[in-house]
Chains A and B, each alone.
Chain A
Amino acid sequence: MNVQIEIQLIAIVVALACSTLGVFLILRKMAMMADAIGHTILFGIVVAFFITHDLNSPLLVIGAALTGTLTVFLVESINKTKLVSEDSSIGLIFPLLFSIGVILISLYAGDVHLDTDSVLLGEIAFAPFNRFVVNGVDIGPSSLYVMGTILIINIIYVSLFYKELKISTFDPGLAMVLGISPGIMHYSLMTLVSLTAVGAFDAVGAILVVAFMVGPPTAAYLLTDDLKDMIFLSGIIGTISVILGYWTARIFDVAIAGMMAVMVGVVFLLIFFFAPDRGLLSIMRRKKRQKYDFAQISFLMHVINHEGAEDEREELGKNTIHEHLGWNKEFVKDIFNNLYSSNLVYIEDDIIKVTEKGRDLAISNAEEIVNGI
């Protein structure tokens, strides 16, 4: 396997591991918590490093995973006092634990490969240098094995507890009554989020972990109404972002992890604008369409209201009607032409009249509006 493929493979595995859990995070409105965990694990890593003096010790993972859970616990404890809102609680705990980690590093670990930069940004280009060697045989980069294991754990967790995750996310009250403890699901999910963030920090850095956990699921949410599809689509979107990011970084000779995070954003923006149903453009198109439809009905109702009245010539005159509707002349002309071509209105003696078909349409629409309320 060459280095190029190895780098992309590691990043794809990270993206898949993150987005699998990320789907549930964003459905639980916990994107900011993912951000916080991604950073506070630094504190756990540093403390565990001081105990073991070994950057490859499994204790680092355990320490970091515990810090992630501690973060969630502290945020919730502060929030529970009802004195501080949830986002403020995150804003208090996240910098506190993270900065303690930063201070500890700058004080005691200046000469080891453990610095704030590498935790935040990672350096995926170096990831393949750290090999996994079994009996003297090099079987690939170790991050691939670490992240592969975490990915498998995440997949097993989500498929085993799919039903429990779904109900405790959608309706924690009912989950509780049915005997499916939302608390257990919550903390197990958060522990895995921490574990994933720890496993990935060395290779890709905390920023990319957060990007992969939040970006692809949020984009997938705009594309589907189905939870399973959302998980699969998140994986696909993450993978696309990785490949795009890698090759763009190569072309411009810039940081690979950084460019991958940028591509998560770019892919998200594309989906945000162009998603078939929930994209911004199709929402705007729909709104415009509705506005236009409503204007047509309003036009018809105006004609029906004033037909045969004394001021008919003034209210419905083909050159004066726009003043009464309060619309500009061009728009009125446009609406009239449309209605005319559908055979809903006609002009008689310079007065706009409505056909039977137009009358039926306007009345049935009005009824729909009244009944809809």
Chain B
Amino acid sequence: MEYAVAVNDLTVAYHKKPVLWDIDLEIPSGVLMAIVGPNGAGKSTLIKTMLNMIKPVTGETRFWGEVYEKQRKNIGYVPQRGSVDWDFPTNVLDVVTMGTYGELGWFKRPGKKEKEIAIRALEKVDMLPFADRQISQLSGGQQQRVFLARALVQNADIYFMDEPFQGVDAKTERAIISLLRELRSIGKTVVVVHHDLQTVEEYFDWVTLLNKVIIASGPVEKVFNEENLMKAYKSKVDKLFS
């Protein structure tokens, strides 16, 4: 099997407190994978470390056998919606166009071609009528769609999404999942930090259970079972009974 991502012996710590412990993880190409685990399990930290935003204490991440810098243009990222200031003075089209900045490189300005790419992406997420809208006037679901459109514009081979379903309406959730499936169907790999255990089986074909260490990782039907969930959410379960 070809692996899109291979993480080896990754340990991340804030000061003395380990957040991730000796993570070994392989993500096959073309899967739609959820990373699940309790709060504080290090889900966001894991993808941020893979994407070189946090320096690990030990270990490394390879994308198709190469280091991050070499594959940067093939990697898309959708941060948590709450991580940016939605009162920033800009409109929807402009935010989506930001997805092309990596391809453009330093100095070059986005032009007509980039605008067109952005418009096509907005169309895909049903947000074209909002192209000129100030971003502060969007609902949570609309904000998430804008972020998704921006990721599409990056035209990556693998996407990392940090809680794309957080606080969106049911309609947006359905729209997002069908978009993610479409990405998978054209051979993209999608990695999603996910919160809702009830939808894992319905939405994803691959899952990683994480709680500072990898509890299990593999096809949903194989590893998404009570035993592994108990292990991942153990501290919580223990507390409930103590």
CB neighbours (8 Å) of A163 from chain B are: 101, 104, 108-110
- Where the two chains meet, the residues of A that have a C-beta atom closer than 8 Å to any C-beta of B are 27, 82, 160-164, 166-167, 169-171, 173-180, 221, 224-227, 229-230
A174 to B83, CA, bound (A): 10
- Whether A174 and B107, one on each chain, are in contact in the complex, defined by CB atoms closer than 8 angstroms, is no
Question: B91 contacts the other chain (Cβ, under 8 Å)?
Answer: yes
CB neighbours (8 Å) of A161 from chain B are: 107
- Whether A171 and B84, one on each chain, are in contact in the complex, defined by CB atoms closer than 8 angstroms, is yes
- Where the two chains meet, the residues of B that have a C-beta atom closer than 8 Å to any C-beta of A are 14, 48, 51-53, 72, 75-77, 79, 83-85, 88-91, 95, 98, 101-102, 104-110, 134, 136, 150, 154
A177 to B72, CA, bound (A): 7
CB neighbours (8 Å) of B75 from chain A are: 177
- Whether B98 and A227, one on each chain, are in contact in the complex, defined by CB atoms closer than 8 angstroms, is no
The 6 closest A-B pairs by CB, nearest first: A178-B102, A177-B77, A225-B134, A173-B79, A171-B84, A170-B88
**6 more A-B contacts (CB under 8 A) besides A164-B106, A177-B52?**
A27-B88, A170-B84, A171-B84, A177-B53, A225-B134, A225-B136
A170 to B72, CA, bound (A): 20
Q: Which one of A27, A167, A178, A226 has the highest number of Cβ atoms from chain B below 10 Å of its Cβ?
A: A178
- Whether A227 and B90, one on each chain, are in contact in the complex, defined by CB atoms closer than 8 angstroms, is yes
CB neighbours (8 Å) of A27 from chain B are: 85, 88-89
* Given known contacts A27-B88, A180-B102, A230-B89, A171 and B51 CB-to-CB distance under 8 angstroms: no
A230 to B105, CA, bound (A): 25
Q: Can you show 12 pairs from A to B with CB atoms below 8 A apart?
A: A27-B88, A160-B107, A161-B107, A164-B106, A166-B90, A170-B98, A173-B48, A179-B72, A221-B89, A226-B90, A227-B89, A230-B89
User: DSSP class of A's interface residues: helix, strand, loop or mixed?
Assistant: helix
For the complex formed, measure the closest distance between the CB of B78 and the CB atoms of chain A, giving whole angstroms.
8
A224 to B77, CA, bound (A): 29
- Whether A170 and B90, one on each chain, are in contact in the complex, defined by CB atoms closer than 8 angstroms, is yes
Q: Which one of B14, B51, B53, B101 has the highest number of Cβ atoms from chain A below 10 Å of its Cβ?
A: B101
CB neighbours (8 Å) of B85 from chain A are: 27, 170
- Whether A171 and B79, one on each chain, are in contact in the complex, defined by CB atoms closer than 8 angstroms, is yes
CB neighbours (8 Å) of A166 from chain B are: 90, 98
CB neighbours (8 Å) of B104 from chain A are: 163
Partner of A180, one of B14, B76, B106, B150: B106
CB neighbours (8 Å) of B134 from chain A are: 225
- Whether B102 and A170, one on each chain, are in contact in the complex, defined by CB atoms closer than 8 angstroms, is no
